[in-house]
């Protein structure tokens, strides 16, 4: 049986990236980076992870801050969920993220948890990984070897797996700014407020004046090993006028996009069903008033 | 009897009668310390030389313990000692949890740590004691224990079948207890009935999830041979007996102290092997040992409950008259019956309570209680009631539907009449006085049924599915020795209170019932203030210490107010008589012409103040020489109370639940909930109402979310609060509570229990509401918890 | 390696210097090192809310914060919050409304409710319920707690007029 008190660990505080690289060099693979700790420390309590040393990166200024420049919103990895939820730049350039924040756990968790931590942990039922994929974000990774950029959809590689290499951390997330044509929504079905979703959908697309869909990205969470970009459903929508028939086509196409596992909440067919329901609920918001009434 | 003047009974407002505290919403004096973080829970107690225990728990549902190697564990910094079952058996005897009046019941001897076999995943196997809890856990991690896994009997449905794994071979089979109650001619009634409806109900395995986990410090002092136990418990005197008996000590050598308790709900009224192990280890080490269960341990070792499968049938005539119930209950209780209350009581309660609110002639109900390799089950809030109520009310609704009758009308036709008492139910339960029809009437005053039905029809037209469900219930409270004592358990059904007046005119009451947060100390203060005639702020209350309080049973089965409260009232009245006798002598007045109001002796006729209690205190305690030599001056009075006429004081009530089911996702939103309950005399409405609400939320939680889920190997899958879902503020509805008061005539106070009513009725009301919502779609759910998956299945969506 | 880390921080307005085990979470630090037993460990995995305290002015789960990481931080517990009188009205409302039964959740609940008073003075009942949805109470039906918070918000709004 598992135990509750955290196992014996060491603690190193890094106050700069240089500090961090030095600490990583000293401790190698037995070290784990500590950001907000809202997932990592819970896994320590379950003794699901067993790092020898925690390297606290929360005081590294270079990993903080939110800025918008040249049509790109850059969000520092240490940005806490609560900050994300109230930041005016986020609200303006990536409103989907602001909409997602209230769905993440509870206020006390949101005051501590960070976007970098959430993405690095890559829980398949978490909201932010799905959002960044839906938004077509770029994840900025840093290590002693320098910086590299990975498209969000390539960053999540499997159950709790990411493109992060040993010694690498998430430095920031870069997102294309929303335009007047951008439509985004996040919807989920969770047993209780703040619970991980049984199924969720972060959806982004563009609508032109005629109501034609461009660049649709439907990203499901809680239904696979990570955020699932529904390519077939997207293809069913692209170039079509958004109406009930188009949504129906996207729902049909999900059969090929999703292969959900069973979990404590129900069988795969329930998750498939919920994904179809969520598709209707998310895309239904973008319908013109005449269609909604229909 | 029952002639206590209350503001209502003498036509005064509460403000006009400041001396009367019965029925007043007096704020609890305990709450300031709770909201300021100044309470004292067991884990807050730190003793000199104290060490901490952690347990290696079985990773297997069933396994032989091959070997224990503690060599590495003993090298872990801080580790003091490692104990196995054999080590503890030297100082501690095993126990067997059976009750003589449950005929044929059997169970196996249980040791604090098993000698050779683990029988559930989570059973404590080896203990490590260290200078901190963290070090003790490090020690556990360093233990090398070899297990030889054995086949596990997980499914209760196959526990008695050929080929079942017999968990204790010396018992011969896995049958713990079986009982059938029969009244009338069930087969004939069902054969002749206009309609017979049947369904199978499942109530999911639950656990209590007290926010404060089980906590204990045992402190054996070799110098004087005493064992002092600080424990988060409901029953200090019962535990005193248990520790003494198992550790071969005299009861007088054991003292159990229980300060603040962070929730109990029945979880903390049982004997847990790890807690007895702590006492045994302290006995051996001669120093204090602390153990506070962590949340994993709570899920894997606190008692579970409500793991039942019930097949039920109801027969009705063409007018909707209920002709009979025919019920078969099966429950799995884990590998041991839990000491000393036993794990057969819950099934027995199902037999006692099914059909309870109704007047019908033919009844057959069987409970079959079997062993399995899961966490042991035992009494948890509203033992058996939510099961019996859901089954009964589910069947009544199905019958109403089958004959096309409105469910409210169906109940009106069948609930036992309010003038029918005393009444004996087909299950043999004796009711002194219940108020089903008055309660239904009151409920219908509170629930806007017409508006709800109109809203329901309008919403259905929009594809929104809402439903209204109701559930009537009875609740067993104020138990007599018929519950446990006659079966041989040393569990007191009697309780005592000692009330004394100190020189300053303040009053102290020491009571054998205990405070678990329900407000026991507040109502005792109210009752004593009322009985003596002092301001409630002048009363201090002592509970939770076997050395300082009269012997009593503690808190269980809703007895604190009804039993402990009556003892307090009687001792308060005795003190008042004594005070008036002394005052009469001092004032040269007839004591019968005097009264005590807000701490002043007054002339009864005029209300004129004559002498204060503090002045009487001064004279009696410090100038007794000025009083007549033969004047009795016993300002300490003790009275005990036990119910004598009825084995239990039954209460009743009825609940209504209004829900919306999202038929696309299977999500249920409880929109509003109502409860009318009759707990006899209401002592403090503020406390009763929120306790009823808490009970309802616990019932709704169980019916919607809570479930101890096992795989087919007996591995518990819900070991965190992220997996075992409890009800939280966002999902819970506004709850309206109303009262009908039918005081019991067994006591002057007239109070019955109120703590379990909410939990008893809520799941049934919710189930009926969901099924009302689903009815046009042809779906029905009868297996709790009602998860999105279960509702989508019922609708044929998945 | 079970390292110790030296930290100096402010707890309830007092400067505190300790050498703590790296693995110790904030609640064990408060309870075991400082004797501040008002904060409770209910689940130790970040779900129940009994350990809610303020760090640098914002509420956090004390069981999901490493004490070693708090050098220079400002921590406020229920004891400190009570001493400042910041929520005396809220605590009075809890008493008046019987919004505490066993009380084990109460310190965390008051810390979370205090957060509503500071950040959401116009919160509706539904918003109060949502904000408190990370704090588990087994005893009440939550309604008395929501009532107490709502009453305090109203009283403060009226006083501000």
Q: What is the CATH number of the domain that holds C143?
A: 1.10.150.120
Residue in chain B nearest A280 by alpha carbon: B664
Which domain-ending residue is among C77, C107, C141? C77
Residues C8 and C72 in one domain: yes
Q: Map residue B490 onto helix, strand or coil.
A: coil
Distance CA C135, CA A194 (A): 11
Residues C57 and C91 in one domain: no
From B719, B743, B690, B607, select the one nearest B1 (Cα to Cα). Answer: B743
User: Is B19's pLDDT higher than 70?
Assistant: no
**pLDDT digit string (tens) for B318-347?**
999 999 999 999 999 999 999 999 999 999
Contact at CB, B690 and C132, closer than 8 angstroms: no
Residues B139 and B271 in one domain: yes
* The Cα angle at residue B197 between residues B191 and B201, in degrees rounded to 5: 130
Which domain-ending residue is among C45, C77, C109? C77
Q: Is residue B452 part of a domain?
A: yes
Residue B180 CB partners (closer than 8 Å, separation 6+):
B351, B364, B365, B366
Residues B316 and B464 in one domain: yes
Q: Is residue B6 part of a domain?
A: no
- CATH topology for A10-56? 3.30.43
* The Cα angle at residue B3 between residues B1 and B7, in degrees rounded to 5: 155
* Mean pLDDT of chain A, nearest integer: 95
**pLDDT digit string (tens) for B244-279?**
999 999 999 999 999 999 999 999 999 999 999 999
User: Is C5's pLDDT higher than 70?
Assistant: yes
8 A C-beta contact, residue B670 and residue B733: yes
User: Across B390-494, where does the E strand assignment appear?
Assistant: 423-424, 430-431, 465-477
Residues C70 and C101 in one domain: no
User: Is B556's pLDDT higher than 90?
Assistant: no
User: Is B15's pLDDT higher than 50?
Assistant: no
Residue in chain A nearest C111 by alpha carbon: A108
**pLDDT digit string (tens) for B34-79?**
999 999 999 999 999 999 999 999 999 999 999 999 999 999 999 9
Residues B297 and B341 in one domain: no
**pLDDT digit string (tens) for C75-109?**
999 999 999 999 999 999 999 999 999 999 999 99
Domain count, chain B: 3
From C100, C84, C77, select the one nearest C27 (Cα to Cα). Answer: C77
**pLDDT digit string (tens) for B402-449?**
999 999 999 999 999 999 999 999 999 999 999 999 999 999 999 999
Residue in chain B nearest A2 by alpha carbon: B296
8 A C-beta contact, residue B520 and residue B534: no
8 A C-beta contact, residue B105 and residue B171: no
- CATH topology for A182-287? Enolase-like; domain 1 (3.30.390)
Chain B interface with A: residues with Cβ < 8 Å:
54, 56-59, 121-122, 133-134, 137-138, 140-141, 294-297, 300, 664-667, 705, 709, 717-720, 722-723, 725, 727-728, 730-731, 787-789, 792, 797-798
Residues B277 and B341 in one domain: no
From B376, B380, B393, B409, select the one nearest B327 (Cα to Cα). Answer: B393
Q: What is the pLDDT of residue A7?
A: 85
Residue in chain A nearest B123 by alpha carbon: A1
Which domain-ending residue is among C15, C42, C77? C77
Helical (H) or strand (E) element with B284: helix B273-285
Contact at CB, A106 and C115, closer than 8 angstroms: no
CATH number at residue B665: 3.30.365.10
8 A C-beta contact, residue A11 and residue A54: yes
- CB proximity C85 to B under 8 Å: no
Contact at CB, B263 and C79, closer than 8 angstroms: no
Q: What is the pLDDT of residue A292?
A: 67
Q: What is the pLDDT of residue A48?
A: 76
Which residues of B fall within a CB distance of 8 Å from C95?
27-28, 31-32, 35
Q: Is residue B531 part of a domain?
A: yes
Q: Which of residues 51-90 of C touch A (CB under 8 A)?
A: 52, 58-61, 63-66, 68-69, 71
User: Is B557's pLDDT higher than 90?
Assistant: no
| Residue labelled with tokens 């159990």 | B256
**pLDDT digit string (tens) for B352-406?**
999 999 999 999 999 999 999 999 999 999 999 999 999 999 999 999 999 999 9
Where are chain A's structural domains?
Answer: 10-56, 62-176, 182-287
Which residues of C fall within a CB distance of 8 Å from A108?
49, 52, 59-61, 112, 134
Residue in chain C nearest A110 by alpha carbon: C60
Distance CA A26, CA A122 (A): 26
Q: Which of A1, A2, A277 shows the shortest C-beta gap to B664?
A: A277
Q: What is the pLDDT of residue A6?
A: 87
Distance CA A123, CA A119 (A): 8
Residues C63 and C89 in one domain: no
Residues C49 and C109 in one domain: no
Which residues of B fall within a CB distance of 8 Å from C100?
31, 34-35, 517
Residues B372 and B350 in one domain: yes
Which of C31, C51, C113, C141 to mutate: most B Cβ within 10 Å?
C141
Helical (H) or strand (E) element with B201: strand B195-203
| Structural domain that includes position B707 | 304-481+645-794
Q: What is the pLDDT of residue B10?
A: 47
Residue in chain A nearest B301 by alpha carbon: A1
Residues B342 and B309 in one domain: yes
Residues B130 and B228 in one domain: yes
Dihedral sign (CA B41, B42, B46, B48): positive
Q: Which of residues 154-213 of A touch B (CB under 8 A)?
A: 189, 191-196, 198
Distance CA B479, CA B642 (A): 9
CATH number at residue B68: 3.90.1170.50
Q: Kindly report the CATH number that applies to the domain delimited by A62-176.
A: 3.30.465.10
User: Once rounded to an integer, what is the mean pLDDT over residues C19-33?
Assistant: 97
Longest dimension (CA), chain C: 58
- Counting as contact any 3 or more CB pairs under 8 A, the partners of B are A, C
User: Is B707's pLDDT higher than 80?
Assistant: yes
User: Is B527's pLDDT higher than 60?
Assistant: yes
Structure tokens, B192: 């002749």
Residues B530 and B501 in one domain: yes
User: Is B2's pLDDT higher than 70?
Assistant: no
Which of A8, A51, A108, A191 to mutate: most C Cβ within 10 Å?
A108
CATH number at residue C12: 3.10.20.30
Q: Is residue B738 part of a domain?
A: yes
Residues C89 and C155 in one domain: yes
| Structural domain that includes position C39 | 4-77
Share of chain B above pLDDT 70, in %: 98
Taking 70 as the pLDDT cut, the residues of chain A under it are: 1-3, 292-294
């Amino acid at each position: 049986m598992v135990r509750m008190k955290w196992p014996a660990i060491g603690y190193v505080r890094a106050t700069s990236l240089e500090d961090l690289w030095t600490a990583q060099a000293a401790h190698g693979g037995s070290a784990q980076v500590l950001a907000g700790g809202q997932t990592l420390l819970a896994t320590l309590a379950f003794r699901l992870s067993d790092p020898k040393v925690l390297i606290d990166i929360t005081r590294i200024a270079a990993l903080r801050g939110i800025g918008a420049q040249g049509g790109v919103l850059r969000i520092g990895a240490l940005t806490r969920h609560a900050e994300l939820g109230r930041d005016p730049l986020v609200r303006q350039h990536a409103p989907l993220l602001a909409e997602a924040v209230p769905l993440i756990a509870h206020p006390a968790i949101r005051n501590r948890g960070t976007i970098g931590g959430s993405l690095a942990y890559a829980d398949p039922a978490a909201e932010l990984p799905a959002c960044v994929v839906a938004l077509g974000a770029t994840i900025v990774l840093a290590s002693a070897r320098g910086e590299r950029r990975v498209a969000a959809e390539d960053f999540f590689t499997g159950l709790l797996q990411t493109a992060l290499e040993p010694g690498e951390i998430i430095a920031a997330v870069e997102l294309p700014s929303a335009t007047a044509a951008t439509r985004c929504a996040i919807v989920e079905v969770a047993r209780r407020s703040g619970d991980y979703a049984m199924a969720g959908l972060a959806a982004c697309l563009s609508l032109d004046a005629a109501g034609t869909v461009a660049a649709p990205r439907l990203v499901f969470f809680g239904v696979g090993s990570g955020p699932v970009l529904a390519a077939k459903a997207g293809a069913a929508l692209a170039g079509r006028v958004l109406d009930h028939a188009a949504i129906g086509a996207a729902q049909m196409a999900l059969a090929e996009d999703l292969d959900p596992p069973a979990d404590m909440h129900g069988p795969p067919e329930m998750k498939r069903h919920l994904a179809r329901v969520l598709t209707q609920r998310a895309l239904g918001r973008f319908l013109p008033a005449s269609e909604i009434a229909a | 009897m029952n002639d206590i003047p209350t503001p209502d009974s003498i036509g005064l407002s509460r403000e006009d009668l400041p001396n009367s505290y019965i029925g007043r919403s007096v704020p609890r004096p305990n709450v300031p310390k709770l909201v300021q973080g100044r309470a004292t829970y067991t884990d807050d107690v730190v003793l000199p030389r104290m060490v901490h225990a952690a347990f290696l728990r079985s990773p297997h549902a069933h396994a032989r313990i091959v070997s224990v190697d503690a060599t590495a564990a003993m090298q872990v910094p801080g580790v003091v000692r490692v104990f196995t079952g054999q080590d503890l058996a030297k100082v501690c005897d095993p126990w067997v949890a059976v009750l003589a009046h449950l005929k044929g019941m059997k169970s196996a001897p249980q040791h604090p740590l098993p000698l050779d076999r683990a029988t559930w995943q989570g059973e404590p196997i080896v203990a490590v004691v260290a200078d901190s809890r963290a070090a003790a856990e490090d020690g556990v991690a360093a233990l090398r224990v070899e297990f030889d896994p054995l086949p596990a009997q997980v499914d209760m449905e196959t526990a008695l079948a050929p080929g079942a794994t017999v968990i204790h071979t010396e018992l011969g089979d896995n049958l713990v207890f079986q009982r059938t109650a029969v009244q009338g001619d069930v087969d004939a009634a069902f054969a002749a009935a206009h309609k017979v409806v049947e369904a199978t109900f499942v109530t999911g395995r639950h656990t209590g999830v007290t926010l404060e986990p089980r906590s204990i410090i045992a402190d054996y002092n070799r110098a004087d041979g005493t064992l002092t136990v600080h424990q988060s418990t409901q029953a200090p005197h019962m535990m005193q007996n248990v520790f003494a008996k198992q550790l071969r000590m005299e009861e007088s050598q054991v003292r159990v102290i229980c300060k603040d308790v962070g929730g109990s709900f029945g979880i903390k009224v049982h004997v847990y092997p790890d807690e007895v192990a702590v006492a045994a280890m302290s006995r051996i080490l001669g120093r204090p040992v602390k153990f506070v269960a962590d949340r994993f341990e709570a899920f894997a070792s606190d008692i579970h409950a409500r793991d039942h499968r019930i097949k039920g049938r109801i027969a009705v005539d063409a007018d909707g008259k209920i002709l009979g119930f025919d019920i078969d209950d099966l429950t799995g209780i884990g590998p041991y019956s839990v000491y000393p209350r036993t794990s057969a009581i819950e099934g027995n309660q199902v037999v006692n309570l099914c059909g309870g609110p109704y007047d019908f002639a033919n009844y057959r109900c069987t409970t079959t209680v079997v062993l399995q390799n899961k966490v042991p089950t035992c009494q948890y809030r509203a033992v058996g009631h939510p099961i019996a109520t859901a089954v009964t009310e589910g069947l009544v609704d199905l019958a109403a539907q089958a004959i096309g009758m409105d469910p409210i009308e169906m109940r009106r036709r069948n609930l036992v009449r309010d003038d029918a008492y005393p009444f004996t139910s087909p299950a043999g339960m004796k009711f002194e006085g219940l108020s089903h029809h008055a309660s239904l009437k009151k409920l219908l005053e509170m629930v806007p049924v017409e508006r709800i039905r109109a809203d329901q029809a309008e919403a259905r037209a929009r594809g929104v599915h809402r439903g209204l469900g109701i559930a009537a219930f009875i609740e067993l409270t104020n138990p007599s020795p018929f519950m446990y004592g006659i079966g041989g358990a040393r569990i007191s059904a009697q309780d005592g209170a000692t009330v004394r007046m100190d020189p300053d005119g303040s009053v102290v009451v020491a009571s054998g019932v205990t405070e678990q947060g329900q407000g026991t100390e507040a109502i005792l203060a109210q009752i004593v203030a009322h009985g003596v005639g002092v301001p409630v702020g002048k009363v201090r209350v002592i509970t939770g210490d076997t050395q300082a309080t009269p012997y009593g049973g503690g808190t269980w089965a809703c007895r604190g107010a009804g039993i402990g409260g009556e003892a307090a009232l009687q001792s308060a009245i005795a003190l008042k008589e004594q005070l008036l006798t002394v005052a009469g002598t001092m004032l040269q007045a007839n004591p019968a012409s005097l009264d005590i109001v807000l701490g002043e002796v007054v002339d009864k006729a005029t209300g004129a103040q004559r002498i204060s209690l503090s002045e009487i205190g001064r004279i009696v305690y410090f100038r007794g020489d000025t009083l007549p030599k033969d004047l009795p001056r016993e300002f300490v009075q003790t009275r005990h109370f036990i119910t004598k006429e009825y084995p239990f004081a039954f209460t009743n009530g009825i609940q209504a639940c209004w829900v919306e089911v999202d038929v696309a996702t299977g999500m249920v939103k409880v929109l509003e909930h109502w409860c009318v309950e009759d707990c006899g005399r209401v002592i403090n409405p503020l406390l009763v109402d929120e306790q009823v609400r808490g009970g309802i939320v616990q019932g709704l939680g169980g019916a919607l979310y809570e479930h101890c889920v096992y795989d087919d190997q007996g591995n518990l899958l819900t070991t965190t609060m992220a997996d075992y879902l409890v009800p939280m503020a966002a999902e819970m509805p506004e709850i309206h509570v109303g009262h009908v008061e039918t005081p019991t005539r067994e006591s002057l106070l007239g109070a019955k229990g109120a703590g379990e009513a909410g939990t008893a009725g809520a799941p049934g009301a919710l189930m009926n509401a969901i099924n009302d919502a689903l009815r046009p779609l042809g779906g029905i759910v009868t297996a709790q918890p009602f998860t999105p998956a279960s509702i989508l299945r019922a609708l044929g969506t998945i | 390696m079970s390292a110790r880390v030296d930290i100096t921080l402010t707890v309830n307005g007092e400067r505190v210097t300790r050498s703590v085990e790296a693995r110790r979470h904030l609640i064990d630090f408060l309870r075991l090192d400082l004797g501040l037993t008002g904060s409770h460990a209910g689940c130790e995995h970040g779900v129940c809310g009994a350990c809610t305290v303020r760090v640098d002015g914002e509420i956090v789960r004390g069981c999901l914060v490493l004490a070693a990481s708090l050098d220079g931080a400002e921590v406020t517990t229920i004891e400190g919050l009570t001493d400042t009188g910041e929520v005396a009205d809220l605590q009075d409302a809890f008493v008046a409304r019987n919004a505490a039964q066993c009380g084990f959740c109460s310190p965390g609940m008051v810390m979370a409710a205090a957060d509503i008073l500071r950040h959401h003075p116009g919160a509706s009942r539904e918003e109060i319920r949502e904000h408190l949805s990370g704090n588990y109470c087994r005893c009440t039906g939550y309604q008395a707690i929501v009532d107490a918070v709502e009453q305090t918000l109203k009283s403060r709004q009226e006083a501000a007029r």
